[in-house]
Structures are given as C-alpha cells and as structure tokens.
Amino acid sequence: MTNSPASEHFVRCFVHHQQDLLSYILALVPNIADAQDILQETALALWNKAAEYEPSMPFMNWASKFAWFQVRKFRMYQARRQRHVLMLSDDALQALVAERTKFEPAAFDRSVVLQQCVEKLSQDDRLLLCQRYEMKVSIRQVAEERGVEPVQLYKRLERIRRILLECIEQSTADEQPNKQI
C-alpha cells in the first residue's frame, strides 16, 4: 500500500481506534500480552486488506471482524497446543460479542476521562498502577518487595479499578446532559 490519501485515512482510523480494538480483544482474551499479540496480527491483516476498506463505513465494525477472526485463530491454536489454559467458553464469548454490538459509540473519549480519573488517585495508587501496567512488574514481586501479602495488593488493585470505573461513570454521566444541549 502506498502513501495515498486512502492509506493515510486508514492509518488515522486505526490509530484512533487502536484502544477500542485492544479493548475488544482483551474482553475475549484477558491476558494483555496475548491481546497485544492478537492486536498486532489484526493490524497486519487490516493493513493487507486496507484497500477493501470503505471510508464511509464505521471502522470499528469492519476491524472488529478481523479481530474476532484472529481471536478465534488464537484460541484454536491454544487448543491445539493442548495448553491447559483456563479460558471462557465459546458461548460466553459469543454472548459478549453480541452484547458489545449494543454499545453505542461514546460521545466522549473514555481515555481522556480515564486519564483525569487516574490523576485524582493517590500517589500510592498511581504507583501501583504504574508498576502493574507500565513497568509490568508482577504483583507477587511488588508484594515481595513491599513485604506484604500479594492478596492485599490484588485487592487493592481491584479496588483502584472499581474507583476508576465509578469515576468514569460519574464523569460521563455528568457530561451527558451537556452533550444533549
């Protein structure tokens, strides 16, 4: 594919929806590393088929089909390798995909809202998130270094995520009436 306006448009669309795609994949394959691998495979597949993309159609609808295909491929690969990986069933995945189609596109950027919510967290909580997501240190290791039980950190991480979810819900609920006006 050359540097045509169409390809530029495609790349812009991809970059814009990259997080949505990762979110889509992560819902089906909960491991971040696996999900990122699948995202890369999806990116390749999308790039190869970029010429077929109609700019008039929603990018996510088009791209999610590729992602779904890659997820299925990944699961088949795992099943073939006889890895005893605990996975959600096909029925659950289909129910999730169907549920996701009901979601209307958000009128606001959830990542921006999330960033604002993360800024509201305490320094300790941000540090834990930083270790978990940026530095990718295992929780067990963090717990070892801090001299606490890993279960405490797991609980704490879960609580931080709950706080963030509530914050996002609150922020988006506050923004909704403004959007309607």
Partner 1 sequence: MSYDEHYISELISALCEERATAQQIAELDRLLCTDEEARRLYLKYMDLHARLACLFHKPAVASPFAVPVDDTLPWSMPAEAVEKLPPLTFSVEDAPANVGSNLQQPAPTVSMLPDYELPWEKPRPKVVIETSPPSPIPWYSVNSPIGLPLISYTLGAIITLIAIGIGAVVQITHSYEVAARQAATSEKDSGSGGGGVSGAVAAVEKAEPKKAKAKKQEEAPVVGYISGMADCRWADPSLKPVAPRVRQGTKFALASGLMEITYSSGAKVILQGPCTYEIESPHGGYLSLGKLTARVEPPKSDSSNPAERSRQAFQKRKLSSEKSLFAVRTPTAIITDLGTEFGVEVDEERNTISHVFQGRIEVRFAGDVSGNESHVVVLSANQSARVECGSKQEKPRLIKLDELESATYSAKFARRLREPPKFLDLLDIVAGGDGLGNRRERGIDQNTGRMCSEFHSEYLHGACQYLPVWRHPFIDGVFVPSGRCPSTQLDSAGNAFNGFPPNNGATFGLIWVRSVEVLPEMRNKGWIFEVNNAHRFMPQGRGLLAFHANVGITLDLAAIRKAYPALRLERLRAVAGLADPRPFSSSADGTADLHIFLDGRLKWQKLVMRQEDEPLALSVTLEEQTRFLTIVASDAGDGIRDDCLVLGDVVLEVSPLMEEQGPGSKRPDFKTK
Site for partner 1 in 113-142 (CB under 8 A): 114-115, 118-119, 123-124, 126-127, 129-131, 133-142
Which residue in 65, 99, 120, 170 binds partner 1 (CB under 8 A)? 99
Q: Is 30 in the site for partner 1 (CB under 8 A)?
A: yes
Q: What is the DSSP string of 126-155?
A: HHHHIIIIIS---HHHHHHHHTS-HHHHHH
Rg of the chain, C-alpha, whole Å: 19
Nearer to partner 1, 87 or 175 (CB): 87
Rounded Cα–Cα distance for residues 150 and 142 (Å): 8
Rounded Cα–Cα distance for residues 107 and 165 (Å): 17
* Shortest Cβ 27–partner 1 spacing (Å): 4
Q: Which two tokens stand for residue 71?
A: 């997820």
Nearer to partner 1, 56 or 103 (CB): 103
Q: Is 60 in the site for partner 1 (CB under 8 A)?
A: no
Q: Is 168 in the site for partner 1 (CB under 8 A)?
A: yes
| Stretch touching partner 1 by CB under 8 A, among 10-18, 52-60, 73-81, 173-181 | 10-18
Q: Is 73 in the site for partner 1 (CB under 8 A)?
A: no
Which residue in 56, 89, 178, 180 binds partner 1 (CB under 8 A)? 89
Residue 131: name the closest of 164, 114, 154, 113 by CA. 154
Count of residues near partner 1 by CB under 8 A: 82
* Shortest Cβ 41–partner 1 spacing (Å): 8
Which residue in 76, 79, 107, 148 binds partner 1 (CB under 8 A)? 148
Up-side HSE of residue 113: CA atoms within 13 Å toward CB?
19
* Shortest Cβ 42–partner 1 spacing (Å): 10
According to DSSP H, which parts of the chain are helical? 5-28, 32-48, 59-80, 90-101, 110-120, 123-129, 139-146, 150-180
